[in-house]
Amino acid sequence: MTRIVVTGAAGFIGSNLIQGLNARGFTDILAVDDLTEGDKFRNLVDAQITDYIDADVFYPEFAAGSYGQIETIFHQGACSNTMETDGKYMMHNNFTTSVKLYQACQKRGARLIYASSAATYGASTGFREEPACERPLNVYGYSKLLLDQRMRRECGLAFERAFSGRVMQVVGLRYFNVYGPREQHKGRMASVAFHQYKEFLRDGKVRLFGEYGGYGPGEQRRDFVYVDDVVAVNLWFFDHPAVSGIYNVGTGKAQPFNDLAYAVVNAMRSAQGLSTLSLDAMTLQGLIQYIAIPEALHGKYQCHTEADLTQLRSTGCMHDFADVHTGVSRYVAWMLQHG
C-alpha cells in the first residue's frame, strides 16, 4: 500500500488534497498539523486517514526513520499569514523546517511536492518562474522565495528546465489566489470569494475598491484559481514522478474583482430563486458598492497578477482550469450546503 504524508492536513489546501487522494482510493495517509487552533478539526472529519501526527512530533521522527517507507510528502504546512511581521517565526516555519524536511526526504527516499506562493513575485509585473520576476513585498513571500532558491541550488535546477534527476522528485508549486471549500478557519486570510459571500449574507451587498492604479472601479485583477484545480495539479505531479521543478499554479488568466463579485451575487441570487442581474444592474441597485482604497495600501497593492503557465505546460500538464464564474458557483453552492 502506498503511504502518503500531507502536512498542513487540517488546513485549506491540505484538507482538499486529502479529499482528492481519498477519491482515488488512497487512504494510508498520515495527516500532520498543529491543531492549537482546534476548530480546524472540521476539515478532517470526513477524511480517510491512517493517523494524525502533531507537527512538532512528525518532523524529527520522520528524519529519524519512523513511519516506514513514505512514497510522497505533500508539504502544505506553513505560516500563510502575509501580514505576519515576526520574521524569525516565519523563517523557522516556512524555510528552516522545509529544508530539513527536504533533506530527510532525500535520505528516506520520499518524493516532496511542496507549496510555494505567487507572493514570491510581489512587486513584479512579470510572473515567470525566474529571478528577474521575484520581488517579494513581505517576509512571507521572502520565506517562500528563499526555499525555492535553496531547492534550485540543492537540486541543480536551471531556470529553463526541470531538476537534473540526481535527486528524488522535488516540486515547488507557486499558488496564486486560491479560493474554495474548507478555508473558513483562515479569518482575514481567507479568499476574497469567501469574504464577499459572508459580506453579502450579512449586508446584502459587496464592497470593492474604486478606481486605483490606472484601473477603473473593481477592475483591479487577480489570477483566481479554484482549489480543486490546485489539487488536480498536485496530483498530476504525483502521477509523474520524473518531473521536478518550480511551477506556477493559476488559471493563466487574470480576472477583475468585478467578475468575482458578479459571480458571488448571482450565485446567491440563484440559490434564492432570483433572476440573474448584469453588473450594471447590481451597481444601480447597490448590491455592489465601490469604496476608496485605504491610504495604507497606496503603493503596496498589486493591481494585476496572472500566472505564466509556459513552464507548467512544458511538462505536459494540460489541466483545464475553471474560470471565476464556474469556480465561484461551485463554491457558493458548497458554502450554502455546509452553512
> What positions carry a catalytic annotation?
140, 186
Q: Is 209 annotated as a binding residue?
A: yes
Confirm or deny that 320 is annotated as ligand binding: no
Residue 12 marked ligand-binding: yes
Q: Is 93 annotated as a binding residue?
A: yes
Residue 77 marked ligand-binding: yes
CB atoms within 10 A of CB 157: 21
d(CA 103, CA 63) in angstroms, rounded, equals 8
Q: Is 78 annotated as a binding residue?
A: yes
Residue 242: how many other CB atoms lie within 10 Å: 9
DSSP 312-328: HHHTT-------HHHHH
Q: Is 32 annotated as a binding residue?
A: no
Contact between 259 and 324 under an 8 Å Cβ cutoff? The reply is: yes
Q: Is 301 annotated as a binding residue?
A: yes
Residue 59: all three cell numbers together:
518532523
Q: Is 102 annotated as a binding residue?
A: no
What Cα–Cα distance (Å) separates residue 304 from each residue in 114, 121, 126, 311? 25, 11, 10, 20
Is 43 assigned to a binding site?
A: no
The reply to whether 207 sits in an annotated binding site is no
Q: How far apart are CA 127 and CA 15, in angstroms?
A: 27
User: 206-224 burial string, b = 16+ CB within 10 Å, else e?
Assistant: bbbbbebeebebbbbbbbb
337 annotated as belonging to a binding site for a ligand: no
Alpha helix positions (H), the chain: 12-23, 55-63, 87-91, 97-108, 139-155, 192-203, 227-239, 257-271, 279-284, 310-314, 324-338
Residues in the chain: 339
Q: Has 110 been labeled as part of a binding site?
A: no
34 assigned binding-site residue: yes
Residue 291 grid coordinates: 469604496
92 annotated as a binding-site residue: no
211 is in an annotated binding site: yes
The answer on whether 247 is annotated among ligand-binding residues is no
Cα–Cα distance, 337 to 224 (Å, whole number): 22
DSSP β-bridge partners for residue 223: none
Contacts of 102 (CB under 8 A, 6+ apart): 112, 114, 150, 151, 154, 170
Residues at the binding site for NADP(+) are 12-13, 33-34, 40, 76-80, 93, 144, 178, 186
Residues marked as binding?
Answer: 12-13, 33-34, 40, 76-80, 93, 144, 177-178, 186, 188, 195, 209-212, 222, 301
Annotated binding site for substrate: 177, 188, 195, 209-212, 222, 301
